[in-house]
Every structure is written in C-alpha cells, then in structure tokens.
C-alpha cells in the first residue's frame, strides 16, 4: 500500500501530521509521501522528532508546488527531496510569500463586499501555505455561502468577485528546485486541468522538455480510460509513474488515503519505487 500524495494542516489538509500518520498506518499504508502545497513543514516536524512515525510506515519527503503555465495553474510534485536544500527552501519561501500577498488582496476584495475578518481567521489557522480553500472555509463559516464550491464559484474562482490571480513560479523553476534538492519532479493529476487535447499534449511536451521526471498516473477519481491514457504516456515518454490519493480530509471519503488503482502493466516497471533513490527513504516496495 503506497500513497505518494497527501496534505496536512500546514497547507489545506484537515489533519495534523501525527493524526495523518496514524490514519495512514491504521489503513495499512506502508509508504506515505506528505506533499503539502508549497511547504515541507510536516517533514521538518518529523525530522525534529516532534512527531513519532509508526513502525510500519516509511515517510517519503515531498511537496506540491503551484506553477503558472499558459495562464493555468499546474501542480508539480517533488518527491524524495532533501527538505533542507537551500534552492528548494528559497523557492518555497517565495511561494508562501506569494500566497500571503494574494490572501491579503483577497481580504481587501471581501471587505469591499462587506465580509471582514479574513486575516484574523487565517492567522488563527497557523498554516504555512495559505490557500483559497482556507478562504472558502472562512466564507462558509461566516455564512456568506453555503458550500466551499459556492465560495469558489461566487468569489474565488477566475470569474469570482474576489478573484486575485496568483503569480506562481514557472514549471521549469519548480522542476529545477526539486532536482537541485535531489528529488523527482512529477506532473500532478494531469487530467484535472481544464485543457483541450492539443493543449494537454503541449503541457506534457513542455514538462518533458524542461526535464520533468515523472507523471502521476494513478490517483483518486480517475477513470479507467484516463488511467490507461496516462500510463501509455508515462511508458512512451519514459517517465517514472507515481500514485497518490491527494488526501486532504477524512470527510472526503472519495479521496481517502490509499484510494488509488495499481499501475497498469504497461508502466509497472517505471513505478517510482524502482527509482535508485527510493531506498534512501523507504523499504523496497512489495512486488507490485
Ligand atoms: P490555491 O492553491 O490556494 O490557489 O487553491 C487551489 C485549490 O483550491 C485547488 O487545489 C483545489 O483543491 C481548490 N479549488 C480550486 N478551484 C476550485 C473550485 N472551483 N471548487 C472547489 N475547490 C476548488
Ligand atoms: Mn489542496
Ligand atoms: Mn494539486
Ligand atoms: Mn494535492
């Protein structure tokens, strides 16, 4: 049981690190990557000894970097990274700063619409990577909207009243920083971006061109056809194949830890657990 994509309260996840690890362990996960948005704080916490790791669980250090590509937000996972690497730390600090600045601007837009108190709410969360998801939770809590979905459509998404574009780094900056930290750069959930087919192919081409290493091939809510499609791309482009639920909260039962399909035959030899760096962090994966 491998899950290489999950979040804690340091970004927009609902569990703290210790609770996430306990949940992973009780669900039989043996290898878990924590991949918070634009931060590695959960890993710093684990490395400092502040959180105990259950015996049967190996932790793979990771992060999920938001990038800007052709006016779209594209997420790049960094797996097996050195969490103390200066280049990566610097990029993550910039991204966190951009998140703070965007949240402040969103707060001003919301105040104009009569909804005050966002900054106080965000400060009380104490997270490292402030997300629009936190703003959506604030709007639901204040009774401004009925659901987070509605918060996005009315306020936070591209045509929303309080939309503020983020100025993320480029895909190549993310890939470079991940690789500088010794990690593997994977294009996250490739079918979740609203892209036409030609644009999707261009995204893959450009990701490969800038030296991207891996493709997230299996994740929650992925249909069988897309799983097949992504596994063929991984095989053709000789990319490592990774799997992850993108776990955020026990409430999101459809993307709980471990809810991923196994890799299709065509790219099974490229499972990221076969990467030479894997055994620095985890026991060899059980024969898949
Ligand atoms: P951020 O990284 O702060 O810009 O937040 C982006 C996150 O918000 C995404 O990873 C999604 O989880 C969530 N999100 C984006 N658009 C929507 C939407 N229309 N409805 C609900 N959640 C969304
Ligand atoms: Mn998230
Ligand atoms: Mn993502
Ligand atoms: Mn994610």
The answer to whether residue 178 is domain-embedded is: yes
What pLDDT sits at residue 195? Answer: 96
Q: Is the pLDDT of residue 100 over 80?
A: yes
CB atoms near residue 3 (< 10 Å): 27
CA distance 193 to 157: 14
Beta strands in 80-213 (DSSP E): 184-187
237, 208 contact by CB (below 8 A): yes
∠17-19-20 over CA atoms, to 5°? Answer: 65
The answer to whether residue 130 is domain-embedded is: no
The answer to whether residue 100 is domain-embedded is: no
Report field, pTM of the whole predicted structure over 0.95: yes
Range of the domain at 174: 2-92+170-280
The answer to whether residue 129 is domain-embedded is: no
Tally of structural domains, the chain: 1
The answer to whether residue 189 is domain-embedded is: yes
CA of residue 279 to ligand 1 center, whole Å = 33
The answer to whether residue 225 is domain-embedded is: yes
- 31 — pLDDT class (breaks 50, 70, 90): very high
What pLDDT sits at residue 43? Answer: 98
Q: Is the pLDDT of residue 287 over 90?
A: no
CA distance 167 to 68: 7
Mean pLDDT of 185-203: 97
- The residues placing their C-beta within 5 Å of ligand 3, an ion, are 75, 188
CA of residue 64 to ligand 4 center, whole Å = 6
Residue nearest to atom 5 of ligand 1 (CA): 132
Each residue of 201-229: pLDDT tens digit? 999 999 999 999 999 999 998 999 999 99
CATH code of the domain covering residue 178: 3.20.20.140
CA of residue 114 to ligand 3 center, whole Å = 31
Each residue of 227-258: pLDDT tens digit? 999 999 999 999 999 999 999 999 999 999 99
The answer to whether residue 41 is domain-embedded is: yes
- Provide the token pair at 170: 């480029």
Q: Is the CB of 37 under 6 A from ligand 1?
A: yes
The answer to whether residue 149 is domain-embedded is: no
């Amino acid at each position: 049981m491998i899950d290489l994509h999950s979040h804690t309260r340091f970004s927009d996840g609902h569990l703290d690190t210790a609770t996430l690890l306990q949940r992973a362990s009780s669900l039989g996960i043996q290898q878990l990557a924590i991949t918070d948005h634009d931060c590695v704080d959960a890993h710093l916490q684990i490395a400092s000894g502040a959180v105990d790791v259950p015996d049967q669980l190996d932790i793979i250090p990771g992060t999920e970097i938001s990038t800007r590509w052709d006016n779209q937000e594209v997420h790049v996972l960094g797996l097996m990274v050195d969490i103390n690497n200066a280049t990566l730390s610097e990029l993550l600090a910039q991204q966190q700063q951009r998140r703070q600045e965007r949240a402040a601007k969103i707060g001003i837009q919301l105040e104009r619409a009569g909804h005050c108190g966002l900054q106080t709410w965000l400060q009380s969360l104490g997270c490292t990577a402030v997300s629009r998801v936190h703003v959506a939770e604030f709007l639901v809590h204040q009774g401004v909207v009925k659901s987070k979905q509605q918060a996005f459509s009315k306020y936070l998404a591209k045509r929303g009243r309080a939309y503020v574009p983020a100025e993320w780094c480029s895909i190549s900056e993310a890939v470079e920083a991940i690789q500088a930290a010794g990690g593997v750069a994977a294009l996250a959930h490739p079918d979740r971006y609203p892209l036409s087919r030609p644009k999707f192919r261009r995204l893959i081409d450009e990701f490969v061109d800038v030296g991207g290493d891996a493709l997230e091939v299996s994740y929650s809510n992925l249909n069988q056809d897309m799983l097949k499609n992504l596994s063929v791309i991984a095989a053709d482009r000789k990319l490592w194949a990774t799997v992850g639920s993108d776990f955020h909260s026990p409430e999101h039962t459809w993307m709980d830890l471990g809810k991923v399909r196994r890799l299709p035959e065509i790219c099974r030899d490229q499972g990221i657990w076969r990467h030479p760096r894997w055994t620095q962090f985890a026991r060899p994966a059980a024969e898949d």
